[in-house]
Amino acid sequence: MSRYPADASPPGAARRSASRGGGLRIGPLRITPIRVVVALAFIGSLGFIAYAVLRVRDTSQIPMLSSGFAVLGLSLTAIAIGGLVGLWLAAADGRGGRAFLMSIIGGLMGLAAIGCFAAAVVLALLWRSS
């Protein structure tokens, strides 16, 4: 049984149908330039950190790790902000389960971003003192 009368649509249905325009998609996820940039920063920073850990064995390793963690923190911050926007839209549309999922994902990404920024600062301070 639906919560809405037969002639009424759920809140935000017009916004959802208008925002589901054409364009490239991966399943239900629309590909936008911002999502591409954030995904490239996320994957690139993980690769850069892995390269710095596995291949570099000189004095430039610590600044490389610090900058890699800083970029990873920025990309995780962008993902957390995207989770906040998704939370807000889902809550406005009355989709409680999706809003809860977005809050968990956004919160975990925010915590990971804080950890990356802390690692970047600690590594930068370690490099300065040596």
Q: How far apart are CA 102 and CA 91, in angstroms?
A: 10
What Cα–Cα distance (Å) separates residue 30 from each residue in 8, 36, 75, 88?
27, 10, 18, 18
Q: Is 2 helix (H, G, I), strand (E, B) or coil?
A: coil
Q: How far apart are CA 49 and CA 63, in angstroms?
A: 11
Pick from 72, 120, 46, 74: nearest CA to 54: 46
Q: How far apart are CA 128 and CA 25, in angstroms?
A: 45
Phi, psi of 60 (to 5 degrees): -85, 0
Q: What is the pLDDT of residue 87?
A: 96
Q: What is the pLDDT of residue 118?
A: 98
The answer to whether the beta carbons of residues 83 and 103 sit under 8 Å apart is: yes
- Using one digit for the tens of pLDDT, what is the confidence trace for 101-126? 999 999 999 999 999 999 999 999 99
Pick from 81, 79, 90, 87: nearest CA to 15: 90
- Using one digit for the tens of pLDDT, what is the confidence trace for 21-74? 678 888 888 899 999 999 999 999 999 999 999 999 998 999 999 999 999 999
Residue 10 has pLDDT above 90, yes or no: no
Please state the pTM of the whole predicted model. 0.81
Percent of the chain with pLDDT over 70: 84
Measured CA angle at 125 (ends 123, 128), to 5 deg: 110
Residues 6+ apart with CB under 8 A from 118: none
The answer to whether the beta carbons of residues 83 and 102 sit under 8 Å apart is: yes
Q: How much is the average pLDDT of 8-21?
A: 56
